[in-house]
Structure 1
Amino acid sequence: MTGIELTTWGHAGLRLERDGVRVVLDPGSFTDPAVLDGATAVLVTHGHPDHVVPERLAAVLDARPALTVRAPASVVDALRTAGAPPDRVHEVSPGDVLSVAGLPVRVLGGEHAEVHPQVPVPENVGYLVAGVLHPGDAWTPVPDDATVDVLALPVAGPWVRLGDAVDYAVRVAPRVAVPVHDAVLSDLGKGSVDRIAGGLVDRLLGRETYRRLEPGEALAVTG
């Protein structure tokens, strides 16, 4: 499938756009709210506030009658409690195969990566959307029959070890790995991560794969 552009909007927020149709992933509290401008559909991986703000997303749903959201059950409950129209917020589970705004979507995963044994592990799904994989907060396994063109690669956070991020990128072996989930890093920190993780990913895959996108910079999806 061609003609899709991917842009990053800070932290875990992504937008996929084709012919004016916009699918947004994880428009959380660390992401520019403008990512939702003109959105056709929203996909949410899990309920942590850096991935979704229920009250904010519910208000956008109220203002835009054509907008729909797909998310795990706990997020659906939170959105409905925040006032989201129940008929436009839909539950997803790992294994679901969907068409969202004309784009093919596979729902993967199941659980958030562990932060600490004393911290509860919430549900977390990943989305493979027309060749773009957003794993949420987990090293979400990819089915053997799936090909990933662009991987949104988490590189920072309380659950992330940089070596695990590198190993995950190598397992997935995308054409492009775009670092995300890094709002907690300073510019110096991002530079360090790019140098270490990016260098390792490129060397281990034997090609240039790791690419940081500036907010709003478009990347053509070719898979």
Structure 2
Amino acid sequence: MKLTKHAHACVTLEKDGSRLVVDPGAFTPDAAEAVSRAHAVLITHEHFDHFDERLVAAALEAQPELQVYGTAAVATALGRDKRVHAVAAGDTLTVGSLTATVHGHRHALIHADIPCPDNVGYLFDDGALYHPGDAYLVPDAPVHTLLLPTSGPWTKLGEAADFVRAVKPERIIQIHELMLSDLGQQSTANLLGENGLTGTPISRLEPGTTVQL
């Protein structure tokens, strides 16, 4: 499986000719291009930095074979379309040769005065990769590569470290890092990486970088 990192929380996954995009949001400049080449789009939750509603709706209109998976709120926003599927914890979905199980229920707390929407994470290909969305929910399964959110109004580095320790991945790739300066990204990688609190190798990929998992 190949992973291409896009800005913020968006990634493209490819395997044996199957291609899907996770969380094409408003902070991802090339989201429309990524979605235009995808067989499916997976959304972790309804926040605009993960779900550009107008972009996904336009893609559904332009791409007759496109499938979309997301929370009930995402499905409602896109209207009645048989190609839009509401998913929840415990579900399994298949996109060509790619499979994913669904984990989690709620977005991490930002503040008591701000409602927490539903949020799901996707665990791909029997633990090869885990995208948690905006939550530090530990899946009940082994994880090889963890996509780790490292910036945003809900994140805390101490909680991120404990999340990594609980998941015990072999590798970390930073996502949701757009709100950090270059210095902040380097500092975060040092604190959370192999020589920091987790003892786990961490990668900071520039948008457009593709790696083999």
Q: Does 1:36 align with 2:35?
A: yes
**C-alpha contact (below 8 Å) 1:166/1:200 kept by paired residues:** no
Task: Figure out how many residues of one structure are paired with residues of the other and give that number.
Answer: 209
Partners of 2:42 and 2:94 in 1: how far apart? 12
Report the counterpart of residue 129 of structure 2 in structure 1: 132
Report the counterpart of residue 87 of structure 1 in structure 2: 82
Report the counterpart of residue 192 of structure 1 in structure 2: 187
Report the counterpart of residue 112 of structure 1 in structure 2: 107
Equivalent residue for 1:217, pick from 195, 209, 213: 209
Give unmatched runs, 5+ long, in structure 1.
none
Report the counterpart of residue 198 of structure 2 in structure 1: 204
Partners of 2:63 and 2:198 in 1: how far apart? 45
1:111 alignment partner, SS class: coil
TM-score (norm 2): 0.93
Report the counterpart of residue 45 of structure 1 in structure 2: 44
Report the counterpart of residue 163 of structure 2 in structure 1: 168
Deviations 1:171-215 (A, max 9, x none): 1111211010011122222122122222555x633xx52111122
**C-alpha contact (below 8 Å) 2:16/2:97 kept by paired residues:** no
* One-letter amino acid of the structure 2 residue matched with residue 116 of structure 1: H
**C-alpha contact (below 8 Å) 1:23/1:101 kept by paired residues:** no
**C-alpha contact (below 8 Å) 1:41/1:101 kept by paired residues:** no
Identity %: 43
Structure 1 segments, 4+ long, off by >3 Å, are: none
**C-alpha contact (below 8 Å) 1:174/1:209 kept by paired residues:** no
Partners of 1:195 and 1:164 in 2: how far apart? 15
Report the counterpart of residue 22 of structure 1 in structure 2: 19
Partners of 2:134 and 2:188 in 1: how far apart? 18
TM-score (norm 1): 0.89
CA RMSD of aligned residues (A): 1.5
**C-alpha contact (below 8 Å) 2:18/2:95 kept by paired residues:** no
Partners of 1:191 and 1:219 in 2: how far apart? 20
Q: Does 1:9 align with 2:6?
A: yes
Give unmatched runs, 5+ long, in structure 2.
none
**C-alpha contact (below 8 Å) 1:178/1:211 kept by paired residues:** yes
